[in-house]
Amino acid sequence: MTLSVTEVSAPAKRFLATLLPIALLSAPLTLFAQPSASVERQSVSDALPLEDIQTFAEVFERIKRAYVEEVDDRALLRNAMRGMLSELDPHSAYLDEEEYQSLRESTQGEFGGIGIEVGMENGQLMVITPIDDTPASRAGLLSRDIIIAIDGTPTESMSLQEAVTLMRGEPGSELQISVLRSGEDTPREFTLTREVIRSESVKHEVLEPGYGYLRISQFQSRTTEQAREALEQMAREQPLEGLILDLRNNPGGVLQAAVGIADLFLDDGLIVYTEGRLSDTEMSFSASSPTPAGDVPLVVLVNGGSASAAEIVAGALQDQRRGVIMGTDSFGKGSVQQIMPLGNGEGLKLTTALYYTPNGRSIQAQGIEPDVNVVRGRLEVAERRPEIREADLEGHLSGQQAPRDRQEMTERLSNDYQLSEALNLLKALNVVDRRRR
């Protein structure tokens, strides 16, 4: 069937009449301009396909005429644009006015919700990571949990933006989600109370004398400044012999903050670069001297919830041989999204480039593989029968008492096997280093 402009409704006519001149204007470039071979190939690929435009207009007309309920023209076109972007990749999206405003609020660091970063994988709504000290993290949600229902509504045909909108709401209101965890057949039910999510991105503490812990939960505009202050404060208490940088369940955030964190530990060399189709998407970032962390031994913890900007930091430190990466494979989100406002108050979130580590490794769908693989677990001290030692024997010879500087295991270490192993590795690195001197 050949569709002419006169065979469609008035809205479809207007739509087709708008697109046809654009297509006709682009087509003659390949027919009459006599361009070079490379320019001609580009012009052919850029020309709008008339048959597909006619097919689109025909689909538009049939929906308008035959769908069981009357459909608004604007709604149909918005749905078409959503479909255009959602089929590109899991992170590109068309944002209506409400969704665009919601995204702006979340980037400002405060919104009502449960504190969870989500994404789409194989058409399923998946937890990328729960944010520290939020209802989601306290309830025990884990990276790579599949959310199958939100307040009883199945997520199977739900877009990412629709899911985010459903999960956000007034602080104090309840949200029920059904989650399917890897290796389990029965869904888990979680009832969460929404809160105002104000995520502090940097925490620190001294685990043992000389061994510091720096936790970065996401990358915000002040993250680099806060991390620098934390390093300086720990160093004032006691010179650091080792440091653990914890990037587990860090969903990413501001690129400049990730570059700043890597620069705290590197005094020169490439940190990350991006490549895209447009010249303004090609960027490169390098470290500068001096570095407040000096050459203190460093272990970086990552897991399946470490994504995007967190993977940039881990990849840079790994390629530059600045630290040992420990944990499990990271998430593998190595794409750059730009938020593009539209004139009507709506916007686009469009993937425009890919991240690459200093050695040219693409993070996208690959992730960062740790140097030392340590799975998640918990340390438990088993009860043991009392041991008899030489000092317990009657009449034993007295030896010279050596000072002992042994600190009881902190609660954080006892509950975190990966962190405990990272501390043990730092101690081993220091032993080896002292023996080499």
State which H helix or E strand residue 21 sits in. helix 10-26
308 is known as an active-site residue: yes
Which residues contact residue 320 at a Cβ distance below 8 angstroms, ignoring those fewer than 6 apart? Answer: 266, 269, 358
* Residue-level length of the chain: 437
CA-to-CA dists, residue 229 to 199, 221, 226, 244, 289, angstroms: 18, 14, 5, 16, 17
The answer to whether the CB of 295 falls within 8 A of the CB of 239 is no
Question: Which residue among 159, 308, 330, 335 is the active-site one?
Answer: 308
Pair 227, 261: CB distance under 8 Å: yes
| Cα–Cα distance measured from residue 284 to residue 431, given in angstroms and rounded to the nearest whole number | 37
Residue 191 φ then ψ, to 5°: -110, 115
From residue 407, give the alpha-carbon distance in Å to each of 13, 125, 403, 404, 419: 78, 44, 13, 9, 16
Other CB atoms within a 10 A radius of the CB of residue 69 amount to 4
Strand partners, 126: 119, 146
Of 319, 330, 349, 416, catalytic? 319
Which listed residue (64, 159, 333, 416) is catalytic? 333
Is residue 416 part of the annotated active site? The answer reads: no
Q: Where are the beta strands (DSSP E) in 72-113?
A: 93-95, 110-113
Catalytic annotation on 279?
A: no
> 287 near 262, Cβ under 8 Å?
yes
Q: Which residues are catalytic?
A: 308, 319, 333
